[in-house]
Amino acid sequence: MNFENQSPRPFTRSSSQRMLGGVCAGLADYFGIDINLVRAGAVLAAFITGGTAVLLYLALWMLMPEG
């Protein structure tokens, strides 16, 4: 495999499939997985971490450009 000619994909929030900020949709698109799995994982992580995952979501919302 030759990876020299491939440019990196942008890591952006989704502007079309968003519920709140488009972070979960952007992550699902970037990694090529189902958006519902990412959203369920985000909700589960918010409960398991006691809200720390919510802070991470908010940070990604501010740092990820909208695509």
State both tokens at 59.
């940070």
Whole-number pLDDT of residue 34? 94
Q: How many CB atoms lie within 10 A of CB 25?
A: 22
Tell me if 12 sits within 8 A of 26, measured CB to CB.
Answer: yes
pLDDT 10s digits, 6-38:
777 788 887 777 788 889 988 998 899 999 999
Q: Is residue 9 part of a domain?
A: no
Q: Is residue 54 part of a domain?
A: yes
Whole-number pLDDT of residue 8? 75
> Helices H, strands E: what count in the chain?
3, 0
Q: Is residue 56 part of a domain?
A: yes
Looking at the chain, the whole-number percentage of residues with pLDDT higher than 90 is 40
The residue range of the domain holding 28 is 23-63
Q: What is the mean pLDDT of residues 50-57?
A: 92
Q: How many CB atoms lie within 10 A of CB 51?
A: 10
Q: How far apart are CA 67 and CA 64, in angstroms?
A: 9
Q: Is residue 13 part of a domain?
A: no
Predicted TM-score of the model (pTM): 0.77
Looking at the 3D structure of the chain, how many domains does it have?
1
Whole-number pLDDT of residue 33? 94
